[in-house]
Amino acid sequence: MVVARNAHRPGRPTVLVYGHYDVQPVDPLDLWASPPFEPVVRDGRIWARGATDNKGQMLAHVLGIGEMLGREGQLPVNLILLFEGEEEIGSVHLGDFLNARRSELACDIIAVSDTGMVAPGVPTLGYGLRGIACCELVVRGPAGDLHSGVYGGAVMNPVTAAARLVATLHDADGRVRIAGFYDDVRPLAGWETEAWARVPASDDDFLRQTGSPSLFGEAGFTTLERLWSRPTAEVNGLGGGYQGEGSKTVLPSQAVVKLSFRLVPDQDPADILRKVKAHCHAHRPAGVAVEVVEGHSGDPYLADPQSSHGKAAQRALRRTFGREPVLIREGGSIPIINTFKQVLGADSLMLGLALPDCRIHAPNENFTVENFEAGIRLNQALLEEIAGE
């Protein structure tokens, strides 16, 4: 954890800026046009792993603060910078750190730039995040790999069993079939439906962004609703048996499925993982054993964008981009944001400037120079607007 602060004075609001300097793995390396850890500016974009998620955006905070200090000799608020290096693996130590330093990190509001904008030039305030629960299914069959001719037909193939089990997770309309999965899903508030209707992101935009032949998701909901207000079950990886060139007549001894569930208020990751386990055992194909290994998880988050700090953030966005901000929830997860609320009692304003085509977590991650510079201005405007309340 890296913590920095200015001299705090009574009577001023305290703003904590959170960011993370760890990044996702860079593989496959051969798909990068330039080395991921040698940032270059090309075509108006900074290309590097972490350019957007989240090092470039953290740097915009630091440079914004530096400009203000250079110009005015002081900041208008009490400031705490908190940068960690474990966000992408679920912030496994930050919760304990917060608990141990509650008073040192006490603040009124948290600013987070680890999120995105819906489209270039469209100021975006995020007031919600999906939560997450991860697990791995280990499907075990024969004690070792077998000859698929000598034994094929006599025992269950674990990869076939894994595929069958995965196929039980959804119905044909994309609804998750795990018993009780939707029990605690809070319905969308009326004002959100109205706010989201103003978000300039069409199905055509999502088709273009994803490159998929068509969109697909839980029946009965719009794409934005599916992304921001509905939980999902995703297969992140499925493997087992021979994956090399050509064929190899093997009957594999096991298969592994990596799953993650995106969660919304008021779902509880531990409760969801219990339901996943029950589902996997109830739907275990005959002839294999299934073990569910729990991974990391994080709670969903929801705040009021019309709180006094939310309004200050909207003013800062309006000043920076010269137009009315849109209010969104994010489909991604930042597990520590809910922990901030629980331990420090402070809400988070999500003011990130990631664009839909910035390729976070993928090869050729990039951050537009335009947004980098906007971030430097936005972070100053935010401190001024919070100070001026």
- Per the CB < 8 A criterion, the answer to whether 123 and 355 are in contact is no
Judged by CB under 5 A, the residue of 108, 114, 330, 347 near Mn ion is: 114
Distance from C-alpha of 2 to C-alpha of 126, rounded to nearest angstrom: 25
Least Å distance between CB 140 and ligand BES? 27
Scanning the structure block, which residue is given the tokens 């109205």? Answer: 194
Bond prior to 54 in cis (omega within 30° of 0): yes
Query: Per this entry, what is the length of the chain?
Result: 389
Least Å distance between CB 54 and Mn ion? 4
- Nearer to ligand BES by C-beta: 287 or 356? 356
347 binds Mn ion (CB under 5 A): no
Residue 246's Cβ-side half-sphere holds a number of Cα atoms within 13 Å equal to: 2
3-state secondary structure 25-40: CCCCHHHCCCCCCCCE
- Per the CB < 8 A criterion, the answer to whether 330 and 118 are in contact is no
- Nearer to ligand BES by C-beta: 127 or 290? 127
Q: Which tokens in the block code for residue 75? A: 């900041």
Task: Look at residue 132 and give the partner it binds from Mn ion, ligand BES, none, a contact being a CB closer than 5 to 8 Å depending on partner kind.
Answer: ligand BES
SS3 content of the chain, % helix, strand, coil (to 5): 30, 25, 45
- Nearer to Mn ion by C-beta: 81 or 280? 81
3-state secondary structure 313-339: HHHHHHHHHCCCCEEEEECCCCCHHHH
Total number of residues that touch Mn ion (CB under 5 A): 3
Q: Which residue is nearest to ligand BES (CB)?
A: 332
Task: Look at residue 84 and give the partner it binds from ligand BES, Mn ion, none, a contact being a CB closer than 5 to 8 Å depending on partner kind.
Answer: none
Task: Look at residue 56 and give the partner it binds from Mn ion, ligand BES, none, a contact being a CB closer than 5 to 8 Å depending on partner kind.
Answer: none
Least Å distance between CB 308 and ligand BES? 24
Task: Look at residue 366 and give the partner it binds from Mn ion, ligand BES, none, a contact being a CB closer than 5 to 8 Å depending on partner kind.
Answer: none
Helix (H, G, I), strand (E, B) or coil at 347: strand
- Nearer to ligand BES by C-beta: 226 or 252? 226
Q: Provide the total of helices (H) and of strands (E) in the chain, helices listed first.
A: 10, 17
Least Å distance between CB 293 and ligand BES? 16
Return the number of other C-beta atoms located less than 10 Å from residue 143's C-beta.
8
- Nearer to ligand BES by C-beta: 129 or 383? 129
Distance from C-alpha of 15 to C-alpha of 4, rounded to nearest angstrom: 12
Among positive and negative, which fits the CA dihedral 189, 191, 193, 199? Answer: negative
Subset of residues 47 to 106 that bind Mn ion, contact rule: CB under 5 A? 53-54
- Per the CB < 8 A criterion, the answer to whether 378 and 141 are in contact is no
365 binds Mn ion (CB under 5 A): no
Positions touching ligand BES (CB under 6 A) are 53-54, 87-88, 90, 114-116, 132, 296, 298, 330, 332-335, 354
Least Å distance between CB 280 and ligand BES? 21
Least Å distance between CB 249 and Mn ion? 44
Least Å distance between CB 87 and Mn ion? 6
- Nearer to ligand BES by C-beta: 301 or 321? 301
Q: Residue 352: which residues within 8 A CB-CB, separation 6 or more?
A: 54, 57, 112, 113, 114, 115, 116, 117, 124, 126
Least Å distance between CB 24 and Mn ion? 8
Residues 24-53, one symbol each (x = binds Mn ion by CB under 5 A, - = not), give -----------------------------x
| Residues that bind Mn ion in the complex, under the rule CB under 5 A | 53-54, 114
